[in-house]
Amino acid sequence: MHMNTAGASAPHTDFADLRRLHAQAVRDSVTLVRRVTSGDLPRPTPCSAWTLADLLAHMTAQHHGFAAAARGEGRESAHWAVRPLGTDPVGEYTVAAEKVIAAFATVEGPHHAFALPEFSAGRTFRAARAIGFHLIDYVVHSWDVARTLGLAYTPAPELLRAALPIARAVPDDDSRLAPGSAFRPGLTAGEDADTLEQILAALGRSPRRRGPERGAVSHDAGRH
């Protein structure tokens, strides 16, 4: 994800709650990814030009990169490298997800500095903002995976309330048109749009995009 730095942490969400909600978002994604089979990997996703294999590789790499940033190692480009999927991509994803949750749990406070070279080569970001970046990525990418697989995705209302201001803070500029951008130009949400649909529209997803429903994945199913 490429995001401008302005105002991208969730206002009115304290640091402990932000980390808890982040862990919930990531574990929701794990619940969905565990439904992926090898036959699903070539499927197209809502991410422009990405197959599910591409998306899963991106999601795994971002976990490793943000975990490194939490440890003070974010400037090392190797941690952010997107690698081809191995023989157990679901298992690798699950390990990476728990790795970033554990790394964030060790961060001393909201002002801890994160180096995020994909966002800016020359500056660091407050932990609260960096965790907000990662949280919104996994709310949206969970929806991407769910839509690709034809599954329902129903995050907890508390998580969506925290995610909406972060989504609205992502600049809607030419960076969204760049190759490999995780987000596309924003869409207009309908007057009856719920919170998830508003988040998706803000980040260039068509909330009404539907696949054949294979089953429901709710926030309760993703809790550990």
DSSP state of 55: H
Whether 142 and 153 have beta carbons less than 8 Å apart is answered as yes
Q: Residue 81: what pLDDT?
A: 96
212 band by pLDDT with thresholds 50, 70 and 90: very low
pLDDT tens for each residue of 108-164: 999 999 999 987 788 899 999 999 999 999 999 999 999 999 999 999 999 999 999
Q: What percent of the chain has pLDDT over 90?
A: 65
Whether 74 and 114 have beta carbons less than 8 Å apart is answered as yes
Whether 214 and 150 have beta carbons less than 8 Å apart is answered as yes
Mean pLDDT of all residues in 46-62: 93
Mean pLDDT of all residues in 95-101: 98
- Spell out the residues 6+ positions from residue 75 whose beta carbon is closer than 8 angstroms to its own: 115, 117
Q: What percent of the chain has pLDDT over 70?
A: 78
pLDDT at 194 over 60: yes
DSSP letters, 136-153, are HHHHHHHHHHHHHHTEEE
∠ at Cα 84 (124, 133), nearest 5°? Answer: 25
Mean pLDDT of all residues in 84-100: 97
Its pTM stands at 0.84
Q: Residue 17: what pLDDT?
A: 95
Q: Residue 172: what pLDDT?
A: 56
Q: Residue 183: what pLDDT?
A: 64
Q: Residue 171: what pLDDT?
A: 61
pLDDT at 80 over 70: yes
Mean pLDDT of all residues in 177-196: 70
- Spell out the residues 6+ positions from residue 195 whose beta carbon is closer than 8 angstroms to its own: 157, 160, 161, 163, 164
CA atoms within 13 A on the CB side of 17: 12
Closest by Cα among 211, 103, 220 to 157 = 220
pLDDT tens for each residue of 165-185: 998 886 655 554 466 555 666
Q: Residue 38: what pLDDT?
A: 96
